[in-house]
């Protein structure tokens, strides 16, 4: 049992060191910027959709008062 656990950690370490390709610093910065911009745009879109639906429902319900 102990040998299997040791073997697992040894293989995991080998994979992380020798088989995984890590992004460069500039690639990481670019990906982060793209993610942040996407989140901000999506947030703005949802905010506008929420405001528009609020306006539509307020006008709709005002007819039934």
Q: Which single residue is written with the structure tokens 């049992």?
A: 1
Domains identified in the chain, total number: 1
- Of 49, 23, 21, 22, the closest CA to residue 34 belongs to 23
Q: Say if 12 falls within a structural domain.
A: no
Supply the range of the domain harboring residue 64. Answer: 24-65
Q: Say if 18 falls within a structural domain.
A: no
Q: Say if 60 falls within a structural domain.
A: yes
What value does the mean pLDDT of the chain take? 94
- pLDDT reported for residue 46: 98
Q: Say if 17 falls within a structural domain.
A: no
- pLDDT reported for residue 1: 77
- pLDDT reported for residue 37: 98
How remote is the C-alpha of 33 from its chain's centroid?
12
Q: What average pLDDT does range 46-64 have in this prediction? A: 95
Q: Say if 7 falls within a structural domain.
A: no
């Amino acid at each position: 049992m102990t040998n299997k656990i040791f073997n697992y950690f040894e293989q995991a370490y080998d994979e992380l060191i020798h088989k995984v390709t890590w992004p460069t610093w500039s690639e990481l910065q670019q990906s982060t910027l793209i993610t942040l911009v996407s989140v901000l745009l999506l947030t703005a879109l949802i905010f506008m959709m929420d405001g528009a639906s609020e306006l539509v429902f307020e006008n709709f319900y005002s007819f039934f008062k």
